[in-house]
Amino acid sequence: MRIAIIGGSLAGLFAATLLTQDGHDVIVYERSLHGLEGRGAGLLGKRETFAVLRAAGCEHVARVGVVARERIVFGDTGPTIDQKMPPQMQISWDYIYRVFRQRMANGSYLLDRKVEQLREEADRVVVRFSDGSETAADLVIGADGIASVARATVDSQAAANVYAGYVGWRGLLPERDLPGFAASDLLERFAYFRMPHSHVLGFLVPGPNGETKPGDRRYNWVWYRPAIGPTARDDVLTDREGRIHPYSLPPGAISERARERLVDDAKRLLPRSFVAAVEATRQPFVQGIFDYETERMISQRIALVGDAAFVVRPHTGMGIAKAAADAMALRKHLASAPLGEALQQYGRERRQAGGAIAASGRELGAHLV
Ligand SMILES: Cc1cc2nc3c(=O)[nH]c(=O)nc-3n(C[C@H](O)[C@H](O)[C@H](O)COP(=O)(O)OP(=O)(O)OC[C@H]3O[C@@H](n4cnc5c(N)ncnc54)[C@H](O)[C@@H]3O)c2cc1C
């Protein structure tokens, strides 16, 4: 089949790699001008993520991680170290992205191709781009994330993303930038501190090129904080030029004033090792936390994967694992049944899974509002 994938982040790349392996003619259309290199942070390795790496012949990526074997929990009486934590593999988003992107053949991953509309016809889907040009495919995969345009074609009644009332401030910094006291508390461990309606966590991930040697890795932290109501949310998501972004601000977009405010708040509220991490982060970024659950994952010739179908809270640690499982399920069904039937089976299987992950995320985040 001729398959067009809308969105070239991880869900799109996972699906593209597996379906290309199965002999389909796949092209990924990504709206960003220069690709997504250098924009990701860290993630926790999950079974589904390792499975997609294996299926794609990228097992080596699973070995490029940092393993934490202890947890440090900060409390009123000081930190407690839990040595019984099951070992946890921490991976770099950038590294996975780069490896999958490099595997795409020339001409099969196109940048600066923003899709504006999909039109489903009896035997094809017409994809229209923002410059007015069009292409057609037998199957379209909507891997276009939280602001998906594919959703609206699959389900004309699709609801909006629902803001959860809090945001995640994030930072990624060279481990060498942490002062000694913070390095000895935080490095090699999963670190956590909880306060009313807020928590912060941190862990090591590989360096930008997959470096795992001590000294060359990066420290990844996330601080969840309430920003209740649209005004507070818009305030957080206003960039250095005064523009309000709907969902997140990437590294470099936060104003110096907002960064100073973040550091001041950290000094008031966080244990000193986390303060040091926040202070040493030159370009923090921030993500609004939203929920979205699709009613329909498929139509005649379109399938949604990843965040286009379900936006789940980051506390589940399942955003990427879910995208991986979607891509693997879609491949499995397309390989064993005609298109219409395969899509029905895919939709049934993954809608149930997405709903369960979304529900567990809401439960995990309930204390934050
Ligand atoms: C730059 C970036 C960095 C991330 N870093 C992390 C991380 O460090 N840790 C983590 O756990 N999660 C991270 N995520 C989120 C993570 O990728 C998702 O939770 C999960 O993998 C599912 O991703 P997705 O591919 O479905 O959606 P997304 O990752 O949101 O990707 C959607 C893609 O579709 C493209 N797109 C959107 N609309 C259009 C359109 N109309 N036409 C063409 N293209 C379009 C977007 O530019 C984007 O590349 C990151 C996402 C991005 C985009």
Indicate the angle between helix axes 339-364 and 319-336, nearest 10 degrees: 160
Q: Report the alpha-carbon distance of residue 309 to residue 15 in Å, rounded.
A: 14
> Which DSSP symbol is given to 161?
P
Percent of all residues in the chain with a pLDDT value above 90, rounded to a whole number = 89
Q: Give Cα separations from 201 to 169, 210, 219, 315 (angstroms).
A: 11, 22, 11, 10
Distances (CA, A) of 156 to 7, 149, 150: 20, 11, 10
Ligand 1 pocket test, candidate residues 98, 111, 144, most atoms within 8 A of CB = 144
* Dihedral angle of Cα 11, 222, 41, 305, to the nearest 10 degrees: 0
Q: Which atom of ligand 1 is nearest to the CA of 7?
A: 34
Residue 27 Cβ contacting ligand 1 at under 6 Å = no
Query: Could you identify the atom of ligand 1 that is nearest to the CA of residue 319?
Result: 19
User: Which atom of ligand 1 lies closest to the CA of 114?
Assistant: 42
| 344 burial via Cβ count (<10 Å: 0-12, 13-18, 19+) | middle
Token pair for residue 214?
A: 């001590």
**pLDDT at residue number 97:** 95
pLDDT category of residue 260 using cuts at 50, 70 and 90:
very high
pLDDT of 76 higher than 90: no
Is 41 near ligand 1, meaning CB less than 6 Å away? yes
Q: Whose CA is nearest to atom 15 of ligand 1?
A: 319
Per the DSSP assignment, residues forming a β-bridge with 268 are: none
pLDDT at 343 over 90: yes
Identify whether the C-beta of residue 194 lies closer than 8 Å to the C-beta of residue 222.
no
Poorest-confidence range of 73-82, 269-278, 305-314? 73-82
* Ligand 1 within 6 A of CB of 115: yes
CA 208 to ligand 1 center in whole angstroms: 18
- What is the reported pLDDT for 84? 83
Predicted confidence (pLDDT) at residue 322 exceeds the cutoff of 90 = yes
Give the C-alpha separation, 17 to 346, whole Å. Answer: 18
> First and final CA of the chain: distance in angstroms?
46
Comparing 86 with 270, which gets the higher pLDDT? 270
- Looking at ligand 1, which atom is closest to the CA of residue 220? 8
If you average pLDDT over residues 288-305, what whole number do you get? 97
Instruction: Inform me whether the pLDDT recorded for 8 exceeds 90.
Output: yes
Query: Domain extents for the chain?
Result: 2-35+111-158+294-368, 62-92+162-289
Would you say the CB of residue 306 lies under 6 angstroms from ligand 1?
yes
Q: What is the DSSP string of 200-256?
A: EEEEEE--TT---STTS-EEEEEEEEE--HHHHHHHHTB-TTSPBPSSEE-TT-S-H
Q: What pLDDT, on a 0 to 100 scale, did the predictor assign at position 160?
A: 93
Topology of the domain comprising 62-92+162-289: D-Amino Acid Oxidase; Chain A, domain 2 (3.30.9)
Provide the CB-side half-sphere exposure for 267 (13 A, CA): 8
71 contacts: CB under 8 Å, gap ≥ 6: 81, 82, 85, 189, 190, 191, 192
pLDDT digits (tens, 9 = 90+) for 35-65: 998 778 888 899 999 999 999 999 888 888 8
- CATH superfamily of the domain spanning 2-35+111-158+294-368: FAD/NAD(P)-binding domain (3.50.50.60)
31 C-beta closer than 6 A to ligand 1: yes
107-130 pLDDT tens trace: 999 999 999 999 999 999 999 999
Our answer on whether the CB atom of 307 is closer than 6 Å to any ligand 1 atom is: yes
- Position 78 pLDDT exceeds 90: no
Residue 82 has pLDDT above 90, yes or no: no
pTM of the model: 0.94
Q: Is the CB of 98 under 6 A from ligand 1?
A: no
Mapping DSSP to helix (H, G, I), strand (E, B) and coil, where does residue 5 land? strand
342 contacts 333 by C-beta, under 8 angstroms: yes
Interval 140-191: pLDDT, tens: 999 999 999 999 999 988 889 999 999 999 999 999 999 999 999 999 999 9
Per cent of the chain over pLDDT 70 is 100
Q: Is the CB of residue 42 below 6 angstroms from any atom belonging to ligand 1?
A: yes
